[in-house]
Structures are given as C-alpha cells and as structure tokens.
Amino acid sequence: MLPDRRGFVLHYQPTVSLGDRQLTGFEALVRRHHPGLLRALSRWALYEACRQMASWQRAIPREAPLKIGVNIPFRYLIDPGLIPDIQRILAETGLSPASLRLEMTERSVMAHGEAAKATLRCLRAMGIGLEIDDFGTGRASIDYLRRLPFDGLKIDRSFVKQIGAANDSSEIIGMILRFAGSLGMNAAAQGVETESQLERLTALGCRTAQGCYFSRPLDACGARALIEEAVRPHSIHLVELHRRQL
C-alpha cells in the first residue's frame, strides 16, 4: 500500500547531455522529509516518480526515452521488500526498467555496499540503472567499486562550485572523470550554476550535468512543459532556454 502523501510532493531536476545540450531525464526530489517515514516515503517517491515518467513517455513520445532518477536510502536498499516493491511499481505504472535509475550516496555505498551487493546485482539484472550520488566525498576505490554493479556516478556539487575559485577543483574533476571512464561508468556533474562552470566541465570531457543553470527543480506541470518544448521541431536547447529566461 502506498503511504499517505499529504504534505509531500515531488519536484524534478532536469539532467542534460553536454554534447548537444538536450534534456535526458530528471532526478526526482522530495519536498519535505520526515525520518520516521523513511521507508514509506521512499516507496511513495519511487511509485510517484515512475508513474509520472511513464505518463510523460506515453503523452510525449521521444526517440530516446527520458529517464528518472530516484535516491534510495541505505535502510531501504537492504530491506527485503525493496525488490518486490520495485517489481510491483514497474508493473503498475508500466515504466520500463531501463527508464529508472536508482541513486545511492557514496558514503552509503562505502559503508554498506557489500551488504547490499546481492540486491544491487538483482536490480542491474532487471535492467535498472545504478548511480553513486555525491561522488568524491566517500573515498571509494577502483578495486572496491569494481566489485559492485554501478554504471554511473554524480560528481559532488562541492567540486563544481570550486571551479574557477582560488582552490580550483578542475584537476580533481578531471581525475574523477578518468576514474569513472576506467570503470566504464558515465559521470554527471551536479550543481552547475554558471556558464563558466559549464564550459569548464565540457572542456574536461563531462558528458552529463544538472543544476540551476539549466533549470531549477520543477513541479510536474513545469517538467511536462519542458519536455514538450524539447520535442518541438527546431527546439532550443536548455542553455539557450536559460539565457532567454534571464
């Protein structure tokens, strides 16, 4: 049964391909949080994010379907009910597993990844993407991550914020991008806020990003409007859309 969602709402942070500056998907963000409702809230967020993305995909077909990312707390990741919950949610909403990406913080992965290894492998076998969130804060090693079935990581926003500052983080970001490449993982940058950050990330070879430079987190209506704009003939990319809104 889904939890009572009164007082909770999902917003959607767009993710963008830096090659063509086009929309590739969203990360679902819960507005308001209550620790005592962690499992129920996580289950509701998963259902609502999958339901919403499946609805958008049916209403606004695209050659490359958009993907939705949902953060999964460790306590839910090791819960024996997670796999059945996801199977039921995908069946009820009609969302393809390939359109769902589950995100876990690097600190959680480092602390508990071995305990969740079987669950992670089951999720990957289902065709669901797995990403390490806030990467660069947990000191993960190549040898450790090679044993786990992640296919993507998100560079922590603290490194992006330091681009161009006195303690410029470009070298660290470059190392993370090479680290990800050595494992066959895609690396996305979080927290992009300025054009100079965007230009530097592109020069370093980063392929995916998100942040308020492209769009603030949107409610469902705002996210749908963005998708509709993206599929129009001769549609502008998100960088140009940002400039028009200034």
Reported as a single tens digit per residue, the pLDDT across 128-152 is: 999 999 999 877 778 888 889 999 9
Range from 29-33, 115-119, 148-152, 234-238 carrying the lowest mean pLDDT: 234-238
* 119 in Cβ contact with 82 (< 8 Å): yes
For 64-100, write each residue's pLDDT tens digit.
999 999 999 888 888 899 999 999 999 999 999 999 9
- Secondary structure of residue 216 in the 3-state scheme: coil
Q: Is residue 1 over pLDDT 90?
A: no
Q: Is residue 237 over pLDDT 80?
A: no
Average pLDDT, rounded, for the chain: 88
For 178-194, write each residue's pLDDT tens digit.
999 999 999 999 999 99
* 15 in Cβ contact with 27 (< 8 Å): yes
Report the pLDDT value the prediction gives residue 131, as an integer from 0 to 100.
96
pLDDT band at 48; cut points 50, 70, 90? very high
Q: Is residue 246 over pLDDT 60?
A: no
pLDDT exceeding 90 applies to what percent of the chain? 67
Q: What is the rounded (10 degree) CA torsion for 140, 39, 6, 217?
A: 10
- The whole-angstrom separation of Cα 179 and Cα 91 is 36
Task: Give the Å distances, CA to CA, from 12 to 67, 174, 187, 188.
Answer: 11, 28, 19, 16
Q: Is residue 37 over pLDDT 70?
A: no
Structure tokens at 143: 């040898």
Report the pLDDT value the prediction gives residue 140, as an integer from 0 to 100.
78
Longest dimension (CA), the chain: 51
The DSSP bridge pattern shows strands 9-17 and 22-31 to be: antiparallel
- The whole-angstrom separation of Cα 2 and Cα 85 is 10
Structure tokens at 227: 């998708």
Report the pLDDT value the prediction gives residue 111, as an integer from 0 to 100.
82
Report the pLDDT value the prediction gives residue 225, as an integer from 0 to 100.
93
**Three-state SS annotation for 37-92:** HHHHHHHHHHHHHHHHHHHHHHHCCCCCCCEEEEECCHHHHCCCCHHHHHHHHHHH
Report the pLDDT value the prediction gives residue 245, as an integer from 0 to 100.
54
Report the pLDDT value the prediction gives residue 129, as an integer from 0 to 100.
98
Between the ranges 3-17, 34-48, 138-152, where is the mean pLDDT highest? 138-152
Domains annotated for the chain, with CATH where assigned, are 9-245 (3.20.20.450)
pLDDT band at 112; cut points 50, 70, 90? confident
pTM: 0.90
pLDDT exceeding 70 applies to what percent of the chain? 89
